[in-house]
Amino acid sequence: MKSLAEQVLKSDLHSISRALSTVENRKEGYLDLLDDLYKKGKPSRVIGVTGAPGVGKSTLVDVYINELVARKKKVAVIAVDPSSPFSGGAILGDRIRMKSNYDNVFIRSVATRGAIGGVSDSVFNMIVIFRAAGYEYIIIETVGVGQNEISISRLSDITLLIMSPGSGDDIQMMKAGIMETGDIFVINKSDYPGADEFETFLRSSFTDINNKIIKTSAKNGQGVKELVTLVDSIYEAENDKIKKKGKAILKEGLKYLLLHEMSQKVDEVINHASLSLDDIINGSKSPYSEMKRLLKGGFLKW
Amino acid sequence: MKAKIRVLIAKPGLDGHDRGAKVVARALRDAGYEVIYTGLRRTPQEIARMALEEDVDVVGLSLLSGAHNELFPAVIAELKKTGLKDVVVFGGGVIPEEDIPFLKKNGLGAIFTPGTPLQTIIDFIANNVKPR
């Protein structure tokens, strides 16, 4: 692993790719690899891109990449699509829309593998690898989300919520969940009819001017330069906010790490501890008294 | 955790027919594999770059235009040039029987022509990908 970390730091593409797999599959030693790389991470901008299926997230990411490359930036993309809860397999189709080929762009497709918040549990760790490899921008595209998958807003510095004309009226904008996550609201497909009306809905729904609204068309490139500039300007103008966010992201990352270790412990305990299942069935104990007993016994030290 | 097998389904060249590629991609999804689809009209260089970035175990090439004798070996050459020596490659499409020995000699692990049961393709991957 030592040499793998060294190669990642040199931005060797094979090693980056292999390191991403190592982390995703949680192969032995992956935590040491991440520990090595974390300390050597370079500053980067982590931008989340989320929105309903079919609003143009991948296509917009493609033109966003083009604009960043034109500005001589090194860009990594983590494109998440859902795993089947039935077979465990997945179709990862985001890169179909990503037509750009640049030496300085690294795109990795990731399946959710059972995570329910719209990203994979490995995203925090994958960002560590891309940081160490010197990618200045890391774009995370979520699965197509509904109203409630908001994990991305806890992992990225800035979240772009992508919508398209006809995504509902002002009542939809009032609903809790996804509508609360956008730092920037992007009305994509703004070459379609109804874009202006949709913008009016949005503007009337958010009196908080911290939420920024921008119209784009990924198809003809309209508004994309402005979007990239807007995101960059937030990094410059609201540096304190971004720093505060950084702490929240760290907390979230630690939570992922701990939850993973704990869920493994829970599996071990459930499968091997001397559970009094028969006592529960014959009525002398309950699942609740059993839980309390295991917690009291310090099951994490199991 | 057991590593998932990752498969790149790729459309090299200029033909625009990807129904076959999509049917195979779906079958592999249902078999529990993670399938990355390239979309239409990719160059051998693009396909090799994607295989590298996605760290795939398998690349499946689909072609119906008749250019398989040129493009399949070109993809193999590009994969080698990129340093991806362990990747299993198979091909599929309307490919004449008499071209198959040539393609196999040039690094294609298998060629699946119309009418091949999907299970045959799934089994080919299961039997040829080494766990890592």
- Same structural domain for residues A179 and A273? no
- Same structural domain for residues A123 and A265? no
For residue A21, is it within any domain?
no
Q: Quick check: helix, strand or coil at residue A50?
A: strand
Is B25's CB within 8 Å of A91's CB?
A: yes
- Same structural domain for residues A119 and A157? yes
For residue A1, is it within any domain?
no
**Percentages (nearest 5) of helix, strand, coil residues in chain B:** 45, 20, 35
Strand order in the sheet with B6-10: A90-92, B34-37, B6-10, B58-63, B88-93, B110-112
For residue A7, is it within any domain?
no
- Same structural domain for residues A80 and A215? yes
Query: CA of B97 to nearest chain A CA: how many angstroms apart?
Result: 30
- Same structural domain for residues A89 and A208? yes
The architecture CATH gives domain B6-113: 3-Layer(aba) Sandwich (3.40)
- Same structural domain for residues A176 and A262? no
For residue A11, is it within any domain?
no
Last residue of a domain, one of A202, A237, A272: A237
| Number of domains chain A is built from | 2
In which domain, by residue range, is A91 found? 40-237
- Rounded to two decimals, the pTM is 0.92
Tens digits of per-residue pLDDT, A128-182? 999 999 999 999 999 988 877 888 989 999 999 999 998 777 777 767 778 778 8
pLDDT at A254 over 60: yes
For residue A125, is it within any domain?
yes
* A92 closest CB neighbour out of B34, B49, B55: B34
- Same structural domain for residues A139 and A202? yes
Tens digits of per-residue pLDDT, B61-104? 999 999 999 999 999 999 999 999 899 999 999 999 999 999 99
- CB of B47 within 8 Å of any CB in chain A? no
Which DSSP letter does residue B124 get? H
pLDDT at A275: 77
Average pLDDT for chain A: 90
CB A183 within 8 A of CB A45: no
For residue A160, is it within any domain?
yes
| Residue pairs between chains A and B whose CB atoms are closer than 8 Å | 78
Rounded to whole angstroms, the Cα distance separating A154 from A158 reads 9
In what helix (H) or strand (E) does residue A105 lie, and over which residues does it extend?
Answer: strand A105-111
Task: Name the E strands within B16-99.
Answer: 34-37, 58-63, 88-93
pLDDT at A301: 64
CATH number at residue A206: 3.40.50.300
- Same structural domain for residues A67 and A183? yes
Residue boundaries of the structural domains of chain B: 6-113
